[in-house]
Amino acid sequence: MARLPKFFRVQQKFESHAIDDVRSAAHRALAESSSVANVQPGQSVVVAVGSRGITNIDSIVRTVVDFIKSLGAIPVIVPAMGSHGGATAAGQTKVLASHGITAETMGCPITSAMETVLVGTTSDGIDIHFDRNASQADHVIVINRVKPHTRLTGSIESGVNKMLMIGLGKHQGAMVFHQAFPLLDYQLDLAAKQIVPMIIDKMPITLGLAIVEDAHENTSIIEAIDPDRFLTREPELLAIAKSRMPRLPFDRADLLIIDQMGKEISGTGMDTNVVGRKSNDNAAMPDEFPKIRLIYVRSLTKKTAGNASGIGIAEFCRTGMINEMDIQATRVNCLTAGHPTAAAIPIHYDTDVEVLTTALGQASHPDPSRMRWMWIRDTLHLDAVACSEAFWSEATARSDLEILCEPTPLSFDADRNLTGDNGGSTQ
């Protein structure tokens, strides 16, 4: 086997903003909202929940459900995830279940369907769809995490506004929006200024519950937002979310090894904000960091249920990962998102040794000790990062990095795959 770089581990010192008692914080946010006073006994309240792997999402949703019951109202959970789950009602229910959200655990029904109503049409000819079941409720509460999107830019990215326009638009609505995004230069706020007021005016939107996480993936903010503040408050929360995002410890690398990718980690399986490929699948733009030359993804998460959306962003993957793919779910998701290249199959090999040896041959210099490689579990978990020996002098000079070990050779099992004692590896 060719000589590979040695690796050492670093611990990044991200500041923690964790909420001590998430359920109490969620209850307090709801109780302090003036909009909740509009909910009357006997009324139906749809709780819109998305597909992302939001920390504590099951506890937060259960708190909302219990709060609605305390008002004498009737809660119903509705999936608000566009085309995810293979764009089927059963698939979307399954996605919720993967996050611990079922009728049994939440104590209320889950009504999943793909039918929509047409709210209206924008001046640009964009049809606005909205979940039919949600449209028939007395109230709708939208729950989502506010964070940078993997493709969208501007003052509104992922959050309650996007869920209102796209998540609750189901497959039809998501398809329409993603087709329109290139015309909007991927700036969701340009569309939101017209569409969000239209939906709020015609649909029973009562409240948005916004969640912000810190770099440790802790719940750090839970805030109830009245509908008339959706467009003004969310940009402020987005700025906070960006400041608390985890980042790779170095801005340039020849190779990034990622143990796993999946929809609960990011809409593109790996967060393009973390790997520096928000605008271009294959390279960072001139003003974009980090600049990662090659990406190697080793596996899919169990929760992604075969949806490999974003696999095309990587240059390499393992053959076993291709075998794990749900081709149809991946195809539907990427086409709906207007991002067909995200489903492209990278160069793949059976073993880690084969991929890493190939990566050696792509290096701009022959000495493995000079190759800048990093290895992470996934783009959500960046506390511990394995770095090749080329980063050693930089890492030891930085006060924000704790060196966990000295550079040592990579170890492999009998199948020629990396073992779990390197870096943040879970494989």
Give yes or no: residues 254 and 216 share one domain.
Answer: no
Q: Is the peptide bond before 290 cis (omega within 30 degrees of 0)?
A: yes
Secondary-structure percent of the chain, ordered helix, strand, coil, rounded to 5: 35, 25, 40
Give yes or no: residues 49 and 125 share one domain.
Answer: yes
Give yes or no: residues 171 and 254 share one domain.
Answer: no
Among 200, 216, 243, which residue terminates a domain?
A: 243
Q: Specify if 422 maps to a domain.
A: no
Give yes or no: residues 348 and 251 share one domain.
Answer: yes
> Which segments within 19-133 are labelled E, that is strand?
44-49, 74-79, 116-121, 127-131
Q: Specify if 184 maps to a domain.
A: yes
Give yes or no: residues 231 and 300 share one domain.
Answer: no
Q: Spell 277-316 as b/e; 16+ CB within 10 A means b.
A: bbeebeebeeeeebbbbbbbbbbbbebbbbbbbbbbbbbb
Residue 181: predicted pLDDT:
73
- Global pTM value: 0.81
Q: 284: domain range?
A: 7-14+247-403
What's 180's domain CATH number? 3.40.50.11440
Q: Is the pLDDT of residue 417 over 50?
A: yes
Q: Specify if 274 maps to a domain.
A: yes
Question: 155: closest CA among 191, 107, 108?
Answer: 191
4 φ, ψ (degrees, to nearest 5): -105, 160
Quick one: DSSP state of residue 39?
-
Give yes or no: residues 261 and 230 share one domain.
Answer: no
Q: Specify if 163 maps to a domain.
A: yes
Residue partners of 21: CB distance under 8 A and separation at least 6 = none
Give yes or no: residues 337 and 323 share one domain.
Answer: yes
Give yes or no: residues 316 and 366 share one domain.
Answer: yes
Q: Is the pLDDT of residue 342 over 70?
A: yes
Give yes or no: residues 348 and 316 share one domain.
Answer: yes
Give yes or no: residues 77 and 216 share one domain.
Answer: yes
Q: Is the pLDDT of residue 364 over 80?
A: no
Segment holding 37, helix H or strand E: none
Q: Domains in the chain: how many in total?
A: 2
Query: pLDDT for 120-154, tens place per residue?
Result: 998 888 899 999 999 999 999 999 999 998 888 78
Q: Specify if 173 maps to a domain.
A: yes
For residue 158 the two structure tokens come to: 């992922």
Distance, in Å, from the CA atom of 174 to the CA atom of 169, rounded to the nearest integer, reads: 6
344 in Cβ contact with 314 (< 8 Å): no
Give yes or no: residues 188 and 41 share one domain.
Answer: yes
**Mean pLDDT value of segment 397-415:** 95
Distance, in Å, from the CA atom of 412 to the CA atom of 305, rounded to the nearest integer, reads: 27
Query: pLDDT for 35-54, tens place per residue?
Result: 999 999 999 999 999 987 89
Least confident of 28-32, 71-75, 176-180, 376-380: 176-180
Residue 29: predicted pLDDT:
98
Question: 116: closest CA among 138, 139, 91, 89?
Answer: 89
Q: Is 245 helix (H, G, I), strand (E, B) or coil?
A: coil
